[in-house]
Amino acid sequence: WDNIGKNIDADLSATLYDSNGMIYDYVGPLMLKGKSKLATEDGAISHHGDSKGQNQQNGETLSIALEKCASHVKAIVIFLNCHEEGNFGEIETAQFSLFSIPSTINRPLQSLSLGQYSQAQGLIAGILYRSPTDNLWWYETSALPCQNATNTAACNDLIQDRLETIFQHPMSGRK
């Protein structure tokens, strides 16, 4: 992405939740308690480093190996945010794309232009969740904007509402 005027640091992160909606683990730059964490304890998710944008083709990247997730992890929230100030409207060409690798299709499973969330400082891009009936992973393309959200904690109420709905009515997304 490219900044328009201000130097805005947009970050990508993932937070893992158990079936009670409690945080189990996380990855991302300056996520919880002001600490960066580049891999989950179980090795299921890796963050490939903080990027400051400015003409980088792939700013920040997560690798997720669902088969490595601890059995009590029931949901993974993928979150984007402007780290300290600004909003997505002040970042030119910012985009979020989700790919399945390896894949037989040559297009993203989800693609969001962040400029359409111009007043938001945070965005719940999507939620991976484990079905309680067959233990398969599903993906909900949430695209829920959060105001004044420099980290996932600022969106906790919205996240908890979505998780409660997903756990009560699973399999509304894509396998």
Q: What is the pLDDT confidence band of residue 30, given thresholds at 50, 70 and 90?
A: low
Of the ranges 31-40, 64-73, 100-109, which one carries the lowest mean pLDDT score? Answer: 100-109
Per the CB < 8 A criterion, the answer to whether 67 and 76 are in contact is no
What's the pTM?
A: 0.84
φ, ψ at 114 (rounded to 5°): -70, -20
In angstroms, the CA 93 to CA 112 distance is 11
Reported as a single tens digit per residue, the pLDDT across 95-136 is 777 777 666 666 777 788 777 888 888 889 989 999 887 888
Task: Count Cβ atoms within 10 A of the Cβ of residue 121 and give its class: 0-12 exposed, 13-18 middle, 19 or more buried.
Answer: buried
Reported as a single tens digit per residue, the pLDDT across 45-57 is 988 766 555 544 5
In this prediction, residue 160 carries a pLDDT of 92
